[in-house]
Structure 1
């Protein structure tokens, strides 16, 4: 007997569906501005990052529109047929919310950096320096790709000398690269000054690895990914009065 197994909905999907139902019932009508993100988070007893991911989900479905410097507005009302189709899509969808993904990376990659500090070789250090050079060149030329950034993180995983850990980090980056949620988050962020700060973070991680300092490497990687989370959260906050200046300058 074949048993169909469906993946459980992610938390942001549950919140997104709850908001979608409120749009369907006309609690939020077309043209209405959604309540502030903080209010939704308090009402539904979830973090603001989960609400942010739910809004991105609704934006991808064309149900809401993010207006620069103004807020999130209802753009369309889902039909009953569309709702059923979306439910089926969500059950099959493995897309991870961008902030949930960053949290997972923070937990895993900080420990991997610590382990790598005990096994890193001179060749690994050389490859990490090359990755930083690539990243620095991309910043200087205004290159939009994150090749150097990704290479740096993957090289640290490889420096652990553990292929399972390396595969885990590769999978996390693959999920990021394939994520429509991640692309939607970044589509509204045009100010790339934050990448200079992330390069500085990478330098601190590399210094700890050169010292063969496991705790220092763990702390540096944890703080780096915390900085990434907080920066992206701040730059994509439509409720912030500086939203327009940050994202659409």
Structure 2
């Protein structure tokens, strides 16, 4: 069994591919194998592999080209090391799903009328942020911390605050969340409203499920936003086919 000092899976992938690039197996300009092959080779999920690929982009080893794949770049003396990446968004959101699901369940038991009023007011601000297309997601963070406050448990509040603070301290996490925002993903108002409604109804089971479902969808959105070989490639191929058809269409 791996000890506590064992490297994270995405770090192990980066270390292996970095060594292969250094050995000349993959040279500058070479395309890395497609996602499917790397998933099978390293026996990991697509989420873990995408964390690794985005991490390799951040440290300057590769670049992702839309509709084409991931390519090795020219080596730079200013590259970051894999140890500077810290925690990825998938890993973080998985932890949040576990912690905040139970947090919401407890809040459904402990929250009072003032807590519910505050949560609904924050939800209104979240709607406004979405309409103004603000990227800071201040209201989203405030919403989740307010639920933690409603548990009346300072230890839980500290844990939830820490998980949110990691979002801004980790280069890998921020890069992945930026991609998600660029793809048009915004805080889901219906998800958050379902959480408040369950807490207001003192429905611990419903609150837990609503929070876990919400953060499960956050993971799904990250997966879609970091698609490397799927949607964009199909779109590019379709656009090229339309272009060729139009060039040779009869006048």
TM surpasses 0.5: yes
What is the aligned partner in structure 1 of residue 53 from structure 2?
55
Question: How far apart, in 1, do the equivalents of 2:69 and 2:192 lie?
Answer: 34
Q: Does residue 1:86 correspond to 2:81, yes or no?
A: yes
- 1:11–1:50 Cα contact (<8 Å) kept: yes
In the alignment, the residues of structure 2 paired with residue 75 and residue 137 of structure 1 have an alpha-carbon distance, to the nearest angstrom, of 41
Determine the structure 1 residue equivalent to 2:202. Answer: 212
Q: Name the CA distance, whole Å, in 2 between partners of 1:218 and 1:63.
A: 40
Is the alpha carbon distance of 1:48 and 1:217 closer, same or farther for their aligned partners in structure 2, counting shifts above 3 Å? same
1:176 to 159, 167, 174: 167
User: Could you tell me how far 1:191 is from its partner in structure 2?
Assistant: 3.0
On the 8 A contact 1:33/1:73 being kept in 2, the answer is yes
Query: Which residue does 1:26 correspond to in 2?
Result: 24
Deviations along 1:72-117, one digit per CA (max 9) or x if unpaired, are 11013477xx89x836xx1xx4711110111111111101111111
Contact preservation (8 Å) 1:106, 1:225: yes
Which whole-Å CA distance do the structure 2 matches of 1:232 and 1:46 have between them? Answer: 17
- Judged with a 3 Å threshold, the aligned counterparts in structure 2 of structure 1 residues 40 and 221 are, in CA distance, closer, same or farther, namely same
- Indicate the RMSD between aligned Cα atoms, in angstroms: 2.2
| CA shift for structure 1 position 156 | 0.7
| Count of aligned pairs between the two proteins | 231
Stretches of structure 1 lacking an aligned partner (at least 5 in a row) = 1-5
Matched, 1:113 2:104: yes
The yes-or-no answer on 1:239 pairing with 2:229 is yes
Query: Which among 10, 13, 23 is matched to residue 11 of structure 2?
Result: 13
Could you tell me whether the CA contact under 8 Å between 2:85 and 2:172 is conserved in 1?
no
TM (normalized to structure 1)? 0.86
Q: Which runs of 4+ in 1 moved over 3 A?
A: 186-189, 242-245
Q: Which of structures 1 and 2 has the bigger CA Rg? A: 2
Unpaired runs of 5+ in structure 2?
A: 236-251
**Superposition TM-score, scaled by structure 2 size:** 0.85
Deviation at 1:31, TM superposition (A): 0.7
Distance 1:18 1:78 in 2: 18
Question: Deviation of residue 50 (structure 1)?
Answer: 1.1
Distance 1:21 1:202 in 2: 44
The Cα offsets for residues 94-149 of structure 1, whole Å up to 9 and x where unpaired, read as 71111011111111110111111100111111111121111100111122221111
- Does 2:70 match 1:72? yes
Tell me the residue number matched to 1:128: 119
> Which of these residues, 123, 129, 136, is aligned with residue 138 of structure 1?
129
Instruction: Tell me the CA shift for residue 187 of structure 1.
Output: 3.5
